[in-house]
Structures are given as structure tokens and as C-alpha cells.
Structure 1
Amino acid sequence: MHLINYISVLLLMVSSSCTQTKLIKTEPPEWTKTAAIYEIMPKQFTPQHNLKGITQELARLRNQYVSAISILPIFTTLDINNAYNPGDPYACSEFLTIDPALGTDHDFKTLIDSAHHFNIKVLLEFNLTYTTPNHPWRKEYPEFYKSSQAKNDTAFNQDYIRFNLEHKTLQKKLIHILEHWMKDFPLDGFVLMNADQFPESFLNLLGSKINSKKFYLVSGSNTPEFVERGYFDSYFNYDLYHLFIKMVDNTCTSQDFKSLMEINEKATFKNASILFNQNALLNNKDGTETQRFYGFYKLCSVLSILTGGIPMIMNGQEEPMFDRINPYSNQAIVFNKFFSRDFFRSLFIHRVDNPAIQSIQDNLPVIISDATHVLAFERKHGEASIVVMANLTNQVQSFTLKNDYIQRLEFFTRALTNFEKNKSYTLNPYQYIVLTNIK
């Protein structure tokens, strides 16, 4: 009798465990191994200010070796008489239809089909944590929001437009929104901003309903733990960006980068985070890369592309941008100089040609110098190699290497160079040297 009861309890436990959400950590899609992502602000990207304008630029982007585009929300927003989040491209007043000013469903499908023709993947960005104050749900479902109080004294209450993400009905509606875009359009993935605000219950629902081996799901927050738990394939790596900020005042060291590399090394899937020195959120908050990192913005791009992860740049960086893109205005980006186009193009091509800098498991960076203010590392895959030496400060720095690098091509000058171990070398302020053995 006791044995029967014991077996019954075991069966009940097994049955109960089977009903729980079990997420299997899957490797990011194959195409991400050589991906170079280009983030697009659809209203400012072209003089047409619409989806057709993006379609017309795809050939140019492919020539730049962009292999994926990430498009900011294409839904209707509210700028006039919006005291809560005016000009915020992520604040939407509707999630299921395309802003008529940007185009039609047909225009979006044409854009995606054209991108796929050029072998470019298409990601769509969302922020599912807040809306504009005139979203229909604000009146129809006030319980979806954190507060029904429009103002706190004289200040506008931001909780009036922020979702209560614990609400089960809201969670189902948000999942329905994502399923709608997956079903009606041949998209390759989503980028979900502010994902660090998602509660466990919504993450489980998201992982079970949306995440799949073929569909690329990205957290727009610095959440490596969400990737480890199988909710997302990748995440925005703001830790690297914060090191660039430290470089502004000369407080960044090679040890800071080593700590960052150790996080990547411990990850189940290495090199899966998205690296950048500029994106749309940073443009709105901090201005351009040239304003923040004056004199070394290209060094930041080199490290974003070569340190270990999936590189992303924002529309206009190929110019580069010396003025912030105004989210309150539809003024188009002026593309006429393209001073940095070949810089990015050459690095993106090399990412395809050199497996040492692809997003795979066995090419993690190894520090090759003990210098404090010079970051020197090598990444290898088989015989393929890339070596980066970078001065992290605005002062001349000396360093030595632990290995010999003889008859290596300097990537940008294409000059054959020799670097010997234990020999002293110097780098000028923010100078960088990249060596490759892949022609």
C-alpha cells in the first residue's frame, strides 16, 4: 500500500513538472555568425520618410556588407500635445497597424521581400513597456497601466503611460501583437526594448510562444541572464558601451575589458551579445558618437566589431554623424560624404572572410599584453587570426606583447609588419593597430 502511494506521488510530481514551461537554450540562428546589423530610424532615414525609401536604399546597404537591418517601430506615434513622451520613436498609440505616413502593409512586405533578395535579414523593434497617452487601451483597459493618475501635483505621471506587465490579460495581448507581425509578415526577428522590465511570468510566455530556432529574438536591454535562461537569443551589450564612456576620462583599463571578456567566456553561447557604440536610444539621450567620443569614435567601432559579439551600427554612422538625429523632426539624414563607409565595409567583409572574428564558440579573445592602458588581444579560429592593439587613453602609452607576430598585414594600411614579443612599442593617443593573417 505504501509502495502504491509512493508511486502515485511520483507520478503526480512528474505530471506537475510536465505542465511547467521548460525553455531549451538554443544557439542563435546560423546567419548571426557573420551578421552586421544596421539600425534604421524610418522617418529620418531617407528624404521620402517612409518604407519605400528604405527599400530603395537596400542595394547600397548590401554593398556596405550590411546583412541585417533593425527597424525602429513603424506604428503610429503622437508628438503633438503629448507631454509624456513627445518625439519618442518607441512610444506608440497603436501596435497592430503601420503608420500611414510610413506606408502600407504592401510597402512593408515589399521591403522585406526586397531585403531577402539582397540576403539581408529584417528585424522589427518594439517597446512593449509603455505607450503614448492616447493609446486606446488607456481608456478601454486602464488596469493595464501602472496608474490612472495623469499628474503628480504639477508633473506628468509617467506611470500613467507605463504598462503593469504583471497583468495576465495584458501579457496575452502583447504576445498577440508579436504573433500578428510574425504571421502577417516574413520577418526574421524582433528586438524588444526595455526587456529588463519584463516579469518572469511574461518571459515564460514570451519564450514559449515567440522564441524559436529560426526566429531571432533580441533583448534591447543588458540582460545576459535572459539569454542564458533561453528567453532570448541575444541582448544589447551596454557593458561595452560603458567602457567607452570610461575612456573619455582616461579611467578605462585593459582589466575592464578582461572582465567583460570573462562574461562572454562563461556564456553558454559565446559571442551572442550585440555590440555598438551608437544606437537610436543613445542618439536620443546622449547625441552622436562623434560628440561623445571625439577623437576616438572609430576606435570604439573597431572594438565593437572585433572584441567578440554581433556588431551593430546606426543609420548615419557611415557619414559619420556630427549632429544628433532629431527625433522630434522628420528631417532626413543627409548622406553625401560617406567618409566612414569603406571603414565599416572593410570590417564587415573581413567578418565574413575571417572566422577569427565571427560569432562562433571557439574564437574568444585572449589578452596578449600586461599593459594597463593598452588593450591588446588575439582571436583565433584554426589558423585564422586577428590581433588588436589599442591605446585606451589620450596619452602616449608603451606596451610589450607576449607573442611574436611576424609578417602580418596591418588591416587598414595593408602593410606587412613585424611585432616581436617582449619588445617595447608605443601607441599615440587612442591609436589602434589591427593585424590579420587573412588576405
Structure 2
Amino acid sequence: MKKTLFLGIFLAAFMSCKDDKKADTSAGGDKDATLAAVSPAMMENSVIYEANIRQYSPEGTFNAFTKDIPELKKLGVKVIWLMPVYPVSIKNRKATGDLSVEDIKDPEERKKYLGSYYAISDYTAINPDMGTKEDFQNLINTAHKNGIYVILDWVANHTGWDHKWITEHPEYYHKNAKGEVTDPLNPETGKSWGWTDVAHLDYRNKELHKVMKDEMLYWVKEHKIDGFRCDVADNVPTEFWQMAIPELEKQKPLFMLMESNKPYLFGDKLFDMGYGWEAHHLMNDIAKGKKTVKDWDALVEKIGKEYKAQDIFMNFTSNHDENAWNGTEYERLGNPDAAEAFAALTYVMPGMPLIYTGQEYDLNRRLKFFEKDQIDKNKGRMYAVYEKLGKLKNENAALNGGKNPASYKRLATSADKEVLAFEREKNGKKVVYIANLSDKPVTFTIDAAGEYEDYMKASKVKVDKTRELSFRPWQYMILIN
């Protein structure tokens, strides 16, 4: 017997927004006159863009990226996450495979290895390859004038081997039995994770807490950035975040994104948004035929039990790590139709959708991580898709996905293993997502009725409980009232 499941992701359907650290947007510090302070309201309908400055343009500079900020605005982007913009250490710099630049003897060959963005030699300086601090500030100002917030990638777990703390404050680092500073080691085995181009910071030293917070504070005070994406946030003691984030927010409200999905790091005075890793991995498994839509329903139920209503997840089909190490969305999801169906899902499910550099231009290769490898900016299939999805996300309250999200109601179908159908609703607005998330055609009925607009095709659609729908593999529809 068909039944309608009411599943409140993050208890969204039944809980109102709790008092939040950012509710008073008038508090703290100087404000950019062209942009309202970070608030729960701006998190509800934002799209976030991960900017890989090195690979975004042939120049790989702030200025080349800044020119395209109006293009990002067309995509509905309201938050730009800048991958690390700081100088990259030369010592132990990664080259190719297991080699470092020291292993490359040809000086011309060595020049092409630019190293990992995450091996930082100075937290308060700018990578000269990208431009100057003036160029960086122009990027911030331009984004703000276009209604876009900017957050910096922050790497609190480790530094590059050229960082002055290595010699001036070795007490800030983990050491081996010989007293030598180490790269990050697996605490269970004592063996290296393979991040040999970085030195592991030791937060048992309380002085490190203060100096790291001060390094973050520099960018908030001097450059008016709007928050941070914090690398491997759960590898840094929670005690640090509990101290640092409230101190930073004395200057201005900030948007805090963590590379983690740990429930204890969400909440008052900590992080606003975490990575939707479970949903991401499940999308990959459904595309490969390893899991079904039934597993999606189970995940929705699990999230509703383990997280609070105001916990926000970043939804994605790619990011810099996935692209570089696990493959493009086309590799992992199988084909462009599947990639589009899942991209649409990241917009209509609760949370905030991510576009990684190049996805809007149908990037279909793994970008080299340690070398120059710019994207080709040719508008093809996905630019128009992201543009339409971004407009819907920005303007339709039924897709609110922040601290006071729209409801989520599963719509039963006669093919619930293959077809995902759900309805989201808020303030009289309604959006329905229906997708055949399988590699075979499916004919089915859906436990819903009404007249809608097929948003992506701008055509009228009538749905009732007796009418059969036939979907191609990976076909989806977004219906609006």
C-alpha cells in the first residue's frame, strides 16, 4: 500500500529557528556599506562557489577571477569560498607521485610544480603568483558590491615546512621520539598519512591557540572577509574553535564552514555548515548501482535523528579533493544525465549547494593539484542548468535550506527503489523533485496531485495518483506551484 512519508531533514518541518549567534546583525565591528552582515537569512537561499584561483584562468590571479564575479552572480552565487591564497612552502613541496621538488633535478622541470595550497608558509601573506594584497582587497570589494560574501580557506592543523614557527617556535609542533617535527601521523598506527609536505601543529601548547586565532583575526579586521572554511576541522581540538570563533565574531558576524560533518561541531558559537559527505557518497553509490533510493530515505531519517534543525549541510557533486583524487562527477556518476540529475538534487534538498571551479563550464577532467592546469571557460550544458537552479534557490522560499529550512515531505511512488520524489514547502511556495535515479527506464505513479510548472522546461504538468509517468534513465523534473 502506498504511503506518504513525512521526513523532516534536520527536523525542519517542525522546528522553528532557535536564537542564533548571528541573529543580531547590527552587532560587532565595521560593516561593508554595500553588503548586509552575515545572518541566518542569507544562509537560507545561498549558492556557494569554491574558487580555485590558480586554475580559474590562464593568469591564475585575483584580478582575472575578479572580472568574472558578475558571471558568478548570474549563477545565484552568494558565497565565494577561496581556496588557500597564502604563500606555498618550497621545502618538501609535493611534485608528482611520491616525489618532492627536491627529488626533481632538472631546474626547469622543478619550476612547474607549484605545490599544495594547503602547505602554507605564512598565514598573513598573499601568494605572489596570485597578485598583491591590493588585488585581493579588490576581489573582496567587488564581491561585496555584487551582494556576495567571501570566506577564506583556513588550515589550522598544519603548516608548510618553510613557516617561521618551525625554527622560532618548534614547541608549536608535534615531534617524534628524536625530538624532530613530524608531518601528520595516524594516531592509531604512528605512520604518516602521506602529507609529507606539511608539519603537524600541536594544540596541547595553549600559546598556539592564541596565535592561530590572531592570524585568523588579521583577515577579518584588515580585509573584511566574511568567514572561513576550516580544513579538517575535527582534527583540531574543539577547545580551539570554542575559543577562537566567538573571539572572531566580536569583530563582525561570520559564516563558518567546516570540512567535517561531526554533530558536536555544529551549533551555538561554533560552525554554521558542514560537509554533506554521507549524501555525496550515497549519490556516487546510487549512480554505480550499489545503493538505491531506499538508502536515500534511510539517510534522511538518520540525519533527522542525529542533527538539529539548524545544522546546515553543504551539498555537492564535486569539490577540489573529489575532482583531483576521486574523479570528476562524470567519472563517479557515470554520464552527463546522471550528473545533472544529482546536481539538481543538491539544489532542491535541504542545505546549500556547491559549485566547484569549472563545473559551470562542463569541466570533464581531473585538475592537477600541484601544477598549473587551468579550466576552459566555454559555456555548454551546465552553465544554463546552474543559472536556472541558482535563480530558483535564491528566489523560492520552498528551497530554504539554512537554519530555518522549508519542510521536506517524501512522496511515495510505485517504484520507490528507483524513483526519488519529495516535496518542499514554505510560505505558500511548493517545489517537487521527481527523479529516476537508475540506469533503466521506469514507469510509475506518484502519491501526489495538482497542476504545476515544469521549472526547467517552462511547461505545464498535471500530476495525479492514477496517471502513469515514464522517465528515461536519470530523468528528473522540478515542479513549482
Contact 2:173-2:201 within 8 A present in 1 as well? yes
Q: 1:253 aligns with which of 288, 292, 303?
A: 292
- 3-state secondary structure, aligned to 1:252: coil
Question: Structure 1 residue 353: deviation in Å?
Answer: 2.2
Question: Structure 1 residue 26: deviation in Å?
Answer: 5.2
Cα separation, 2, equivalents of 1:271 and 1:345: 26
Cα separation, 1, equivalents of 2:264 and 2:467: 41
Q: Call closer, same or farther: CA 1:79–1:41 in 2, change over 3 Å.
A: farther
1:297 and 2:339 are equivalent in the alignment = yes
1:428 is aligned to 472
- 3-state secondary structure, aligned to 1:43: helix
Contact 2:57-2:65 within 8 A present in 1 as well? yes
Contact 1:223-1:236 within 8 A present in 2 as well? no
Q: 1:242 aligns with which of 262, 281, 305?
A: 281
- 3-state secondary structure, aligned to 2:159: coil
Give the letter for the 2:432 counterpart.
Answer: V
Q: 2:224 aligns with which of 186, 193, 206?
A: 186
2:462 is aligned to 418
Per-residue Cα deviation, 1:230-260 (whole angstroms, up to 9, x for no partner): 4111112111111112113213333332333
Question: Structure 1 residue 138: deviation in Å?
Answer: 2.0
Give the letter for the 1:235 counterpart.
Answer: G
State the number of aligned residues: 414
Q: How does 1:197-216 map onto structure 2 within 5 Å? A: 197-211=235-249, 214-216=253-255
Cα separation, 1, equivalents of 2:311 and 2:466: 30
1:20 is aligned to none
Any stretches of 5+ residues in structure 1 without a counterpart?
1-22
Q: 2:321 aligns with which of 281, 292, 315?
A: 281
Give the letter for the 2:130 counterpart.
Answer: L
Contact 1:39-1:69 within 8 A present in 2 as well? yes
1:375 is aligned to 420
2:265 is aligned to 226
- 3-state secondary structure, aligned to 1:228: coil
1:146 is aligned to 174
- 3-state secondary structure, aligned to 1:179: helix
Contact 1:410-1:416 within 8 A present in 2 as well? yes
Cα separation, 1, equivalents of 2:346 and 2:148: 20
Q: Call closer, same or farther: CA 1:174–1:422 in 2, change over 3 Å.
A: farther
Q: CA RMSD in A?
A: 2.7
Question: Structure 1 residue 205: deviation in Å?
Answer: 1.1
Cα separation, 1, equivalents of 2:154 and 2:297: 32
Cα separation, 2, equivalents of 1:170 and 1:435: 52
2:84 is aligned to 73
Q: Kindly, what percent of the aligned residue pairs are identical?
A: 24
Question: Structure 1 residue 414: deviation in Å?
Answer: 1.4
Q: How does 1:32-431 map onto structure 2 within 5 Å? A: 32-78=43-89, 81-83=92-94, 87-147=115-175, 148=180, 158=195, 161-211=199-249, 214-228=253-267, 230-262=269-301, 265=304, 267-270=307-310, 272-295=312-335, 296-360=338-402, 361-370=404-413, 371-405=416-450, 407-431=451-475
Cα separation, 2, equivalents of 1:169 and 1:381: 47
Contact 2:91-2:162 within 8 A present in 1 as well? no
Contact 1:29-1:215 within 8 A present in 2 as well? no
2:111 is aligned to none
Give the letter for the 2:137 counterpart.
Answer: K
Any stretches of 5+ residues in structure 2 without a counterpart?
1-18, 24-38, 101-114
Cα separation, 2, equivalents of 1:420 and 1:130: 56
Contact 1:26-1:233 within 8 A present in 2 as well? no
Of residues 82-91 and 106-115 in structure 1, the stretch that sits farther from structure 2 once superposed is 82-91
Per-residue Cα deviation, 1:182-224 (whole angstroms, up to 9, x for no partner): 1111111111010011213212212332346721111122233
Cα separation, 1, equivalents of 2:439 and 2:90: 41
Question: Structure 1 residue 25: deviation in Å?
Answer: 5.5
Contact 1:290-1:321 within 8 A present in 2 as well? no
- 3-state secondary structure, aligned to 1:90: coil
Cα separation, 2, equivalents of 1:245 and 1:211: 37
Of residues 172-181 and 214-223 in structure 1, the stretch that sits farther from structure 2 once superposed is 214-223
